[in-house]
């Protein structure tokens, strides 16, 4: 099996917690070929199709234990070969580029869709990536969400705050908790927050009723190959923060799904899988759906370490199944 991972620079991986690294390591342990590239390495030339300048790599044994010793000059991987390869020549291409979902990411989905037409197997499906904005996608399933508004009209946003009293405001293209603000019932800094996030009414944002259950964690529920994992990673805010994101300093605690979390996940899993979303991260607070993450869902390592469930192995099983099904 030959895999290509489209990812951020390998030198920037924090391999002690990186889900893409965990997948690469699992693939290598199965004897599969692992290659990597970045978005800028992908070319689409008329008449020649879609190809990428790829690095076929070998992961250094016990590289997690030696994390502190790795630098750009002394990386955690060795390059076995570097060449331009047509994406259709891989058994599967895994799109693992982190957000933001900006114009370049959008263009990449079109290029990857062309690669599909040429015979490439891309996970997650490029059209599905376009169709499921990580903030907006939850609005299709509003029956599972807390009161939520998407708007750029500043008065409409003010009215939503007046109705719900305690509100979270966040940009539609953010990640890792960046740009998230809570405005309480006193309305302190409401105008400033709305003006800043909407760029004075020029850009749409999301407003959601604040959920006090965030104190128990913003839970990441993983869907792999249309199946619901039995554990979620609760990302618990620390030090007075309202954000549970690990990138914002949240503490990750793996725990079994509640009945409500399983109900929501079991409803969504077959729908999203049928749309070509083989890996999805649902974010839930207090049983409410807050985001549907499809670009580069994480939390593999934390769940594996705390619960002994090899999440990367489940993902590679799903990749193998997708390849076999297509064949």
* Residue positions annotated with a catalytic role: 135, 170, 220, 235, 243, 283, 291, 293
The Cα–Cα gap between 153 and 167 comes to: 16
Please check whether residue 50 is in contact with residue 120, taking contact to mean a CB–CB distance below 8 angstroms.
yes
Q: Count Cβ atoms below 10 Å from residue 83 Cβ, excluding itself.
A: 11
Please check whether residue 195 is in contact with residue 181, taking contact to mean a CB–CB distance below 8 angstroms.
no
Q: Which among 31, 33, 28 has a CA at the least distance from the CA of 15?
A: 28
In 172-300, DSSP assigns E strands to 181-183, 205-209, 218-224, 227-236, 251-256, 279-285, 288-293
Q: Which among 213, 217, 257, 259 has a CA at the least distance from the CA of 234?
A: 217
Q: Count Cβ atoms below 10 Å from residue 191 Cβ, excluding itself.
A: 13
The Cα–Cα gap between 114 and 116 comes to: 5
Please check whether residue 205 is in contact with residue 170, taking contact to mean a CB–CB distance below 8 angstroms.
yes
The Cα–Cα gap between 121 and 92 comes to: 5
How many Cα atoms are found within 13 Å in the side-chain-facing hemisphere of 91? 17
The Cα–Cα gap between 266 and 65 comes to: 36
Radius of gyration of the chain (CA): 20
Q: Is 37 helix (H, G, I), strand (E, B) or coil?
A: strand
For residue 102, which phi and psi values (nearest 5 degrees)? -100, -170
Which tokens in the block code for residue 299?
């939390």
Please check whether residue 34 is in contact with residue 27, taking contact to mean a CB–CB distance below 8 angstroms.
yes
């Amino acid at each position: 099996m030959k895999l290509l991972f489209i990812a951020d620079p390998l030198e920037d991986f924090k391999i002690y917690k990186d889900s893409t690294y965990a997948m690469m390591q699992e693939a290598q342990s199965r004897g599969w070929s692992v290659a990597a590239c970045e978005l800028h390495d992908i070319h689409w030339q008329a008449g020649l199709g879609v190809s990428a300048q790829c690095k076929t790599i070998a992961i250094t044994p016990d590289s997690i234990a030696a994390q502190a010793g790795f630098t750009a000059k002394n990386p955690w991987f060795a390059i076995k070969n570097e060449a331009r390869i047509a994406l259709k020549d891989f058994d599967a291409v895994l799109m693992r580029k982190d957000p933001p979902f900006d114009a370049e990411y959008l263009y990449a989905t079109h290029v990857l869709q062309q690669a599909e037409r040429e015979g490439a197997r891309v996970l997650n499906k490029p059209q599905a990536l376009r169709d499921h904005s990580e903030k907006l996608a939850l609005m299709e399933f509003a029956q599972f969400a807390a009161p939520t508004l998407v708007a750029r009209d500043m008065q409409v946003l003010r009215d939503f705050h007046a109705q719900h009293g305690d509100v979270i405001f966040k940009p539609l293209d953010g990640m890792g908790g960046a740009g998230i603000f809570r405005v309480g019932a006193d309305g302190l800094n409401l105008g400033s927050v709305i003006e800043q996030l909407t760029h004075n009414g020029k850009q749409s944002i999301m407003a959601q009723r604040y959920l006090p259950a965030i104190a128990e964690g913003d839970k990441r529920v993983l869907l792999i190959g249309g199946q619901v994992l039995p554990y979620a990673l609760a990302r618990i805010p620390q030090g007075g923060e309202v954000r549970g994101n690990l990138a914002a300093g949240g503490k990750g605690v793996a725990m079994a799904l509640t009945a409500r979390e399983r109900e929501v996940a079991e409803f969504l899993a077959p729908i999203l899988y049928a749309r070509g979303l083989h890996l999805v991260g649902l974010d839930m607070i207090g049983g409410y759906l807050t985001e549907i993450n499809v670009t580069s869902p994480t939390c593999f390592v934390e769940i594996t370490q705390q619960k002994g469930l090899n999440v990367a192995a489940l993902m590679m099983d799903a990749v193998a199944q997708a390849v076999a099904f297509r064949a």
